[in-house]
Amino acid sequence: MAHAWMEEFSGDSTLCRNKLSINPLKETDMILLERGFCHCEKQKNHQQCQQQAAHSPKSMVQKPEWNTHEEVKEVPAPSSYLHKSSNTQEEVKEVHVKENVPAPSSYLLKSSGLKSLFVKASGVSVSIQVDVSNTKVDYLINSACEKLGVKAQDTYAVLCGKVLDYDKSLSEYLLYQNSTVEIRYRGRAGQLNWDKKFNVNDTVLYYDVNLDPALQNAGIQAFQYARFFSDFSSYNIQKVLMHVTEQHRAGWSYDGGFNSQNIIFHDGAVSIENIPVVAFDKDPCARDYTSLYNIFSTRFGPVYPVHFDHLLEFLRTCPCGVNSRKDAIVAFVTNHPSIETYVDRMKQLMILDNVVHRHPAHLQANIQAMAAYASHASLRASMGPYAYAWKGSAQLVPELNNVLIYQPPGKPLQWKNPLYTDNAKGCLHFANNFLKHARNRFPEEQIEAAFALHMKNFLPKILQGLAELADRTPNRQYINDM
């Protein structure tokens, strides 16, 4: 009401509103005067207000624009007031209990009924369909954890920043279609070490791409598929690599003193705890890489996802030594093809094919750098410094061979694509054509998986060579960007 405008006076305990008197008086002013209040500007005018009220006829009193709290309690609320959209759940329940009528459907919780909910744990989401009206939070979490292959113990669920009670029904929370409930681990104050983080089954760690017979090696009788890291594994492996390489770039190293128990995941970040740091140098760097090699190979061996054996060999040998802290090498390690998506690997191959020849002065150096790891030294000695024998592998896979021997209309039977040279650049151009022109009946994911599997480690090898070239040669920023 008008309490914010009033000031308390001593004596007759009247309160005066800082407004001039209004004539005629309103009914609310009459009530105030009866209770020792007035709206006059000064206390000395209070008697004048009383006299004015005594001589004001009832017909002159204006009706108030709104009622006091006490008056509202005495008057039953019209039904039109009950259907406002801003009523809370408690208000709606109270009204219908008093009137003894069923609640309209518009008042029912939006979280009732059969709904599909997303449950996210360890960076992976699954869809769970539940009847929200008679399902407990505990059942939802256990079902999701079983589907994800993770343990439900020592977890808690969060919806829009609010922690859910496992003993309550889902209908007590505001859930919409496709709402996401996040599962978090309590661990050590919400932290998990490497062993607990990766204490999951293979369906969470990897995913397999089954290959069509036309995309399989014809010389192998067994059914062939390509295995890759899941988003969960790729994300967390990358986080670990980024943390270690960031320390290296800052001039520090753990000197290989950490193990899987020291790698801690918390709040979307990674840290290595309880291990002192030393100044960065090639030997401490090599020992850090060796520790990572031991941790990775123990958890993911002995059969590794596509390209991961290349990353492990890089960590085991630390070929770049003291230069491992340079931007190009760090970018290569933290974005290794083994932890990238198939879309990213396709983009890298296509962009490389279109970029390496656009700098004529760099062309031969780029080709030689790509061949440094893509081919064996004996082959380069016999076929030239840029040699890379890749056609034999392509000829063993029917669909790869179809693209290799494709003859445009009007070309003679003996025609061969002159761009398919016996070096890494020729293989790169073939990769671009294969990813674009393989038959449409094959999904893109299968096409990329077939190339990655049969042209073993071609992409990580040429990227490593280019990264080392960019590290020691100026004006190679376009390689870092890739």
Per-residue pLDDT of the chain (482 residues; tens, 9 = 90+): 444 444 434 444 334 443 434 445 555 555 555 555 555 544 445 555 555 555 555 444 444 445 555 554 454 554 444 444 455 555 544 444 444 444 443 333 344 567 778 887 766 778 888 887 888 888 888 888 777 766 676 678 888 878 888 888 888 888 777 788 888 766 555 688 999 999 999 989 999 999 999 999 988 877 789 999 999 999 999 999 999 999 999 999 999 999 999 999 987 789 999 899 999 999 999 999 999 999 999 999 889 999 999 999 999 999 999 999 999 999 999 999 999 999 999 999 999 998 877 777 787 888 888 877 766 655 555 556 667 788 999 999 999 999 999 888 888 777 888 999 888 889 999 999 999 999 999 999 999 999 999 999 999 999 999 999 888 877 667 666 65
Q: Residue 45 in 3-state DSSP? A: helix
Residues 370 and 473 in one domain: yes
Token code pair at residue 204: 């969470």
Nearest partner of 268 among 341, 333, 191, judged by Cα: 191
Q: Is residue 207, in this structure, part of any structural domain at all?
A: no
Of 155, 186, 217, which closes a domain?
186
Token code pair at residue 476: 């190679």
Q: Is 10 left (phi over 0), alpha (psi -120 to 50) or beta?
A: beta
* DSSP result, 371-394: HHHHS-HHHHHHH-TTB---HHHH
Token code pair at residue 307: 């390209």
Residues 400 and 430 in one domain: yes
Q: Residue 334 in 3-state DSSP? A: helix
pTM (2 decimals)? 0.63
Of 186, 201, 235, which closes a domain?
186
Residues 259 and 181 in one domain: no
Residues 22 and 59 in one domain: yes
Q: Is residue 220, in this structure, part of any structural domain at all?
A: no
Token code pair at residue 16: 């005066």
Residues 361 and 461 in one domain: yes
- The secondary structure of residue 188, as a DSSP letter, is B
Nearest partner of 315 among 333, 340, 328, 341, judged by Cα: 333
Question: To 5 degrees, how large is the angle CA 314–CA 424–CA 458?
Answer: 40
256 contacts 290 by C-beta, under 8 angstroms: yes
**Radius of gyration from C-alpha coordinates of the chain:** 37
Of 87, 107, 127, which closes a domain?
107
Which structural domain, as residue segments, surrounds residue 93?
A: 77-107
Q: Is residue 197, in this structure, part of any structural domain at all?
A: no
Question: To 5 degrees, how large is the angle CA 423–CA 350–CA 363?
Answer: 45
Strands of 191-336, DSSP E: 192-193, 206-210, 225-229, 252-253, 263-266, 269-272, 278-279
Residues 361 and 460 in one domain: yes
- Rounded CA-CA distance 442/260 in Å is 40
Q: Residue 402 in 3-state DSSP? A: helix
- Rounded CA-CA distance 24/38 in Å is 14
Residues 133 and 256 in one domain: no
Q: Is residue 212, in this structure, part of any structural domain at all?
A: no
Beta carbons within 8 Å of 381's beta carbon, 6+ residues apart:
none
The number of folded domains in the chain is 5
Residues 259 and 331 in one domain: yes
